[in-house]
Each structure stands twice: as C-alpha cells, then as structure tokens.
C-alpha cells in the first residue's frame, strides 16, 4: 500500500467539523488533547503544521523541536500566545483568523454593558427570591445619551460602535494605529490619547490586543481618570487590566460596575475578589465562542494553513518576513 504523502497537521483540541474536513481534504490530521509543551512536541515531531487552540503556547522551543514545521495556525484572533519573532527566525509562517469572531465578541460586549446598566444579576436574584422591592431602589440607568469610549477600534471595536450608535450613544474611540479619518469612517469620534478619552466616558470598553504597550493599561491611574460612576467592560485580554485596582475602584464606587470576560489568570481562581461583587458581571472568556464564530474560525485558519502548505500566499500572514525564505508563490 502506498504511503500517504500529504502533509501532516496536528490540531491542539477539537475544532468545528467543517474546519477539520477542510484540513483533511489536503492533509493528514491528528487531533491531540496534549496541553503541555512536552506532549505537543512528541505528537507534532513530524508535523508540517500545528493548529494551536488554548494550550500549550506556541514557544520557540516547541517550534524548534518540530523540524518539519512550516506553518503555525492560531485558532482565534489573539496572537499573544505565539512567539512570532521565534517563528520568523525559524522560517515558520504564522496565520490566524482575524474577524472570525468579531460579531460574537461585539454582541457579548453589548450584553455586558446592558447587564451592568440594568443591574441584571441582582435584579434576577431578587426576583427569584420573591423580592419585588427592586422597583423602588433599582438604580438602573439607560445607555441612550451616554458616552461610550472604545479602546482599540478594529474589527470588533467598529461593530461595538455601530451597536452603541443604534442605542443613541455618543461614541469616542482611541486607537493610535488608526488614522483619525479612518476612525471617523468606523463610526467613532477620534480622541488623541487614552488620558484624554477616559474623563469623557460613561462606559469604557477594551478591544485591544495584548502587547507590552497595553499590558496593565487599565491601572489605578487610568481608572481614576474615569467619570465617577462609569462602567468598565473588557472582552479583550485579562492582562490589559490591573484587577486589584479594578476591585478597589468598584468597592469604593468610583467605578459603578464592570463586565469582565477575561482575567489576569485563567481559569480565574474562585477566591478572586472580583467574583464576590454584586456590581461585576463575569463570564469565562467566552465572548467569541458561538456556533457561528467557531465554524468560521476553523474554516478560515484551516484554509490559511493549507495555502501555506500548498506553497501559496495566505490571505493573512502575520510574519511576512518568512515569505522569501519559504519560497512561497504570490
């Protein structure tokens, strides 16, 4: 029997069936549940491509151990778990699925805003307990007429701006990598700095990647610049915020409420003090996890990986410096 000469792709966890089928149309596919670097090294030692989900991270040592590796795929949008300089040095193409979960995350951010403004969790709890006195002391507020500040006006941020505009909110945006005219086209009034944005907003929502520049960006100083009683939303990365500073702002009442999908440590410890606050709505990093987004994400990154393995240029190549070294077309 002739051996199968198709490239080998190792997938770190289950993906949507349609994405797996796309990979299997041109490659041999192994699905692994290994979550350690050592385990992935063993499974992917002969791999031409690795598709990473949550664990392990795509490190320099892991890629170096996989001698045939040509492409790394990230099942998602964020790239903070991929050592991109090491991939470039090793001649490994890096692809991902930008935009695949934008609708899902933007909807989730809007849900968190509304839940905070309407105090959904305490109202629900009181209603279930037969306590209807909430009508006399609800403290609910409306988003119409309020000012929303968006930090990071990319694929997700522009959708959030559209949703907020439909609610009648004034929308400001800060993104130092997007020109002012483009920000206006994306539905926001541009603001030149984070420091200038914060004092103007009733709701602040973060949609920025995690980089050395954004790590710890929402710290005690930033929270202190917000309007008293502002709402804080984060569906980007947990390390963008200083959780201790956020806890203090929430308990002092300088921040009215927070909707948090991401945490500094994930899974977040059960004794995380933020989880004990009535004015916090929390979710377990699921903003981008919908049936539709899962399918689109898997199909998109699978297609990108196969393009590289065919010797064709992917639509989104994170590290274009590897192009000539890989001898790809296009």
Identify the pLDDT of residue 221.
97
Structure tokens at 89: 């040095």
**Residue in 285, 295, 313, 321 annotated catalytic:** 285
For residue 122, give the CATH number of its domain.
Answer: 3.40.50.720
What's the full length of the chain, in residues? Answer: 330
Active site residue 237: yes
44 lies in some domain? yes
Whether residues 208 and 313 fall in one domain: no
Q: How many Å is the Cα radius of gyration of the chain?
A: 22
Whether residues 87 and 194 fall in one domain: no
Whether residues 29 and 126 fall in one domain: no
Structural domain span for residue 93: 8-100+291-326
3 lies in some domain? no
Whether residues 174 and 215 fall in one domain: yes
**Residue in 108, 207, 237, 256 annotated catalytic:** 237
Q: How far apart are CA 114 and CA 130, in angstroms?
A: 23
> Are the beta carbons of 96 and 305 closer than 8 angstroms?
no
Number of domains in the chain: 2
Active site residue 75: no
Q: Is the peptide bond before 124 cis (omega within 30 degrees of 0)?
A: no
Give this prediction's pTM: 0.90
Structure tokens at 269: 């410890």
The secondary structure of residue 242, as a DSSP letter, is: -
Identify the pLDDT of residue 1.
45
2 lies in some domain? no
Whether residues 152 and 136 fall in one domain: yes
Whether residues 94 and 107 fall in one domain: no
> Are the beta carbons of 91 and 67 closer than 8 angstroms?
no
Whether residues 108 and 152 fall in one domain: yes
**Residue in 24, 142, 195, 266 annotated catalytic:** 266
> Are the beta carbons of 81 and 73 closer than 8 angstroms?
no
Q: Which of 323, 289, 286, 290 shows the shortest CA–CA distance to 307? A: 323
1 lies in some domain? no
Each of the 330 residues of the chain gets a pLDDT tens digit; together they read: 457 889 999 999 999 999 999 999 999 999 999 999 999 999 999 999 999 998 899 999 999 999 999 999 999 888 989 999 999 999 999 999 999 999 999 999 999 999 999 999 999 999 999 998 877 666 899 999 999 999 999 999 999 999 999 999 999 999 999 999 999 999 999 999 999 999 999 999 999 999 999 999 999 999 999 999 999 999 999 999 999 999 999 999 999 999 999 999 999 999 999 999 999 999 999 999 999 999 999 999 999 999 999 999 999 999 999 987 765 555
Q: How far apart are CA 69 and CA 73, in angstroms?
A: 11
Q: How far apart are CA 175 and CA 129, in angstroms?
A: 44
Q: Strand 93-95: give its sheet, edge to edge.
A: 28-32, 8-12, 49-52, 71-74, 93-95
115 lies in some domain? yes
Whether residues 92 and 114 fall in one domain: no
Identify the pLDDT of residue 61.
97
Identify the pLDDT of residue 310.
95
Q: Which of 71, 42, 38, 30 shows the shortest CA–CA distance to 55? A: 38
Whether residues 177 and 203 fall in one domain: yes
Active site residue 181: no
């Amino acid at each position: 029997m002739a051996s199968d000469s198709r490239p080998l792709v190792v997938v770190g966890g289950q993906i949507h069936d349609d994405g797996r089928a796309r990979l299997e149309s041109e490659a041999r596919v192994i699905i692994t549940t290994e979550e350690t670097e050592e385990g992935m090294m063993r499974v992917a030692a002969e791999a031409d491509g690795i598709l990473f989900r949550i664990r392990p991270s795509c490190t320099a040592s892991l890629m170096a151990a996989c001698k045939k590796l040509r492409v790394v795929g990230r099942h998602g949008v964020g790239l903070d778990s991929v050592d991109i300089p090491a991939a470039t040095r090793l001649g490994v193409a890096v692809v991902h699925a930008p935009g695949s979960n934008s609708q899902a995350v933007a909807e989730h951010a809007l849900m968190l805003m509304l839940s905070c403004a309407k105090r959904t969790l305490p109202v629900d709890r009181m209603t279930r307990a037969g306590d209807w006195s909430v009508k006399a002391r609800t403290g609910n507020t409306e988003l119409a007429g309020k000012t929303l500040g968006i930090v990071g006006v990319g694929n997700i941020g522009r959708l959030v701006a559209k949703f907020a505009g439909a609610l009648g909110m004034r929308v400001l945006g800060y993104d130092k990598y997007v020109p002012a005219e483009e920000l206006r086209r994306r539905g926001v009034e541009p603001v030149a700095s984070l420091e200038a944005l914060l004092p103007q907003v009733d709701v602040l929502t973060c949609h920025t990647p995690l980089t050395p520049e954004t790590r710890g960006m929402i710290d005690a100083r930033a929270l202190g610049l917000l309007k008293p009683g502002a709402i804080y939303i984060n569906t980007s990365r947990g390390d963008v915020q200083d959780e201790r500073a956020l806890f203090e702002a929430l308990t002092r009442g300088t921040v009215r409420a927070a909707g948090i999908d991401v945490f500094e440590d994930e899974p977040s410890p059960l004794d995380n003090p933020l989880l004990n606050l009535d004015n916090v709505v929390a979710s377990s990093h699921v903003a981008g996890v919908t049936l539709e987004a899962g399918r689109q994400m898997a199909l998109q990154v699978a297609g990108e990986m196969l393009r590289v393995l065919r010797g064709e240029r992917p639509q989104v190549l994170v590290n274009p410096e590897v192009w000539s070294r890989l001898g790809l077309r296009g």
